[in-house]
A and B are shown apart, each in its own frame.
Chain A
């Protein structure tokens, strides 16, 4: 059943499957007729035609605004923002129009739209192409916020996002497109459920998106030092799997949250606060510095999370009384 796919190819395959199954699924965004700049729409135009695979002008506000109009009138649009940084041109449409529509009109309409916003540092792309902004969207009622870390999840979660009927802020990572992995096209991933990457008993490590892979490397390093890490890939940021995190925290007594986004007011702060309120666990965070991402490799590196930094923070947490 399972097939080897890249993270980009898995998304294209997942979307193709959804478009095949449901004629109301359409997709729109810049350059998607040529497969999208990351190849995550490859083959869709040829297969489904330009009526349903819509090459959009560089008009982010109207790409999302039009998607809201489409969603209210019988379609399920998958919207491409190219990079999260460009979605900032469409914030009114995402926050005021898509997210609030159902509530403010008293449930008269629904906006089943998936808004894809490639997130994170993209090598040498500097300050306006390298942000991780998932926490902004977690703050907004009405939105579901997803951060798949693997080809399998990018396939299954994209389909689940389309099926959930709510507007979804969908964050793929700009540096995961070429990542290969086994994908079972029939596998389903329930939204709001975390994935346990590895089981352990000394320390809980909570992460998502590309940081899951650095966290796994850090866990390998720590294992060699005799530390058993319980690694959780949160994958849904809203509604996050509080039960899974609290359950693990109760077992290990120590929780480290690692994410690429700037640590200050990042989503790790929400998790840490919840743990402070509802568990006796010792908690630490490991996130990005509060700096814009610089172009030059040495500057960019200052903004990056690394497995070494995660492991170092874990050791500190383990030493804490």
Chain B
């Protein structure tokens, strides 16, 4: 199958919302009879719009912000360093996180803005962090790759591929030990399939029957390399089943399909049946980082994927549910306004004091100890 054909394999199924289901259930068929109502559809759409608007603004603010892909670093960028955008992948965090509460735990990847927003983090606190300001969630110490809001259970993006997975498994194990009801969800990319910690953590979660949802957000690219070209076997779901972890595949460009399948899997996890894996097939509209023109990619592949833009596709069920075109457009307008306000306030916010570089390291033997 050519690359373009493989994209088509999941985008062409959009109308039927009938996705390849490799497990016992057909995820497109609304397990348990649950369908999102108009309010839920609007909430899903709003989450996606906020992610899209956030990523677009961050991208704009990052121009000249990092020396990579042949670009020299400038001094005027408001967002500095590697900025990994999840533009095009919005349906996955929106559809999954709609089923979580603030007491559930989440770990994410270097491409983590969408997950963090969908988990309920304040958008302005995130933008301030990307701008490196004292008022950001991490006080300017983390930036994009360490975006986090522990207060809503979002335990952090991560600069190391697959590193968030064992942490989520530990959080789930912790809930089991403490007899608490919360579950853990961990997002990772298709590139992480080839890292050891995923294999270890999946075995661990299955062996201890822990309440974890593994979400493989498969955008088909491991940085600048096609994942399929260097990955053996039949993909994330097949690997999960090898560990006895039930897994489903879903069209990750269809937020309603993701919502349904995640509902099913998360319900099973909450009922105490152990870990589950969701393989969501999606696409990264941008390069590996914001300054990466992704010239290694066939433009036709991108064009085809963009025809299946999850924000555009989400309009159809909204219209069918009786939401007007104007009301749908208004959601995106509000998101853009909210992001613009966050950019303005981030720009005006104070930098961290230099002394903060020595704080929050450790209590015993802290940063200013000597030199």
CB proximity of A156 to chain B, nearest CB, Å: 15
* Shortest distance between the CB of A99 and any CB in chain B (Å): 8
Chain A's interface size range is 35 or more
A106 adjacent to B364 (CB under 8 Å): no
Smallest beta-carbon distance A192→chain B, Å: 6
Flag whether A143 is at the interface (Cβ < 8 A): yes
Q: In this complex, what residue of B is CB-closest to A190?
A: B364
B53 to chain A, nearest CB (A): 24
Q: How far is the CA of A74 from the CA of B182 in the complex (A)?
A: 13
For the complex, is B80 an interface residue (Cβ under 8 Å from A)?
Answer: no
> Which residue of chain B has its CB nearest to the CB of A143?
B362
Q: Write the B157-183 contact mask toward A (1 if CB under 8 angstroms, else 0).
A: 011100101111111111111100000
Binds A, one of B196-204, B283-291, B307-315: B196-204
B146 at interface, CB cutoff 8 A: yes
> Which residues in A have their C-beta under 8 angstroms from that of B141?
103-106
* A141→B141 CA distance, assembly (Å): 14
B138 at the binding interface (Cβ < 8 Å):
yes
- Which one of B148-156, B261-269, B321-329 is at the interface? B148-156
Check B174 against A57 for contact (C-beta < 8 Å).
no
B177 touches A57 (CB 8 A): no
Q: Which residues of A contact B178 (CB under 8 A)?
A: 73-75
Output the least CB separation between B140 and chain A (Å). 8
B163 touches A59 (CB 8 A): no
Q: Report whether B139 and A107 are in contact in the complex, using a CB–CB cutoff of 8 Å.
A: yes
In-complex Cβ contact of B146 among A65, A105, A141, A144 (8 A): A105
Q: Is the CB of A103 within 8 A of B361?
A: yes
* A-chain residues with CB within 8 Å of residue B9 when the two chains form the complex: none
- CB of A107 within 8 A of CB of B170, answer no
Q: Once bound together, how far apart are the Cα atoms of A26 and B179, in whole Å?
A: 14
Closest B residue to A24 by beta carbon equals B178
Interface pair A62/B370, CB less than 8 Å apart = no
Chain B residues whose C-beta falls within 8 Å of the C-beta of A57 in the assembled complex: 200, 203-204, 207
Q: Could you mark each residue 122-153 of chain B with 1 if its beta carbon is under 8 Å from any beta carbon of chain A, else 0?
A: 00000000000000111111100010111100
Q: Chain A residues near B169: list those with CB within 8 A.
A: 62, 65-66, 69
Residues of chain A contacted by B364 (CB below 8 angstroms): 144, 164, 166, 191-192, 239
Selected from A72, A75, A96, the residue in CB contact (under 8 A) with B160 is A96
**Which chain A positions have C-beta within 8 A of B171?**
69-70, 72-73
User: A59-B203, A73-B175, A75-B178 known; A66 and B166 CB under 8 Å?
Assistant: yes
Give the CA-CA distance A73 to B153 in the complex, in Å.
9
Q: Name the B residues within 8 Å of A72 (CB-CB).
A: 150, 155, 167, 170-171
Given A72-B150, A96-B163, check contact A141 B197 (CB 8 Å).
no
A166 to B365, CA, bound (A): 10
A106 & B168 in contact (Cβ 8 Å cutoff): no
Q: Which residue of A lies closest to B186 (CB)?
A: A69
Would you list the 9 A-B pairs with minimal beta carbon distance, nearest first?
A69-B170, A65-B166, A239-B365, A66-B170, A106-B138, A107-B360, A106-B139, A59-B200, A62-B200
A→B interface (CB under 8 Å)? 26, 51-52, 54, 56-57, 59, 61-62, 64-75, 92-93, 96-97, 101-109, 141-144, 164-167, 191-192, 238-239, 242, 274
B interface residues, Cβ below 8 angstroms from A: 105, 107, 136-142, 146, 148-151, 155-156, 158-160, 163, 165-178, 184, 196-197, 200-201, 203-204, 207, 359-365, 367, 369-370
In addition to A72-B171, A96-B159, 7 A-B residue pairs with Cβ atoms within 8 Å of each other are A65-B166, A69-B172, A70-B173, A75-B174, A97-B160, A101-B156, A104-B142
Could you name 19 residue pairs across A and B whose Cβ atoms are closer than 8 Å? Answer: A56-B204, A61-B197, A62-B204, A65-B165, A65-B197, A65-B201, A66-B173, A68-B166, A69-B155, A69-B168, A70-B170, A72-B171, A75-B178, A92-B197, A105-B138, A105-B141, A106-B140, A144-B365, A274-B370
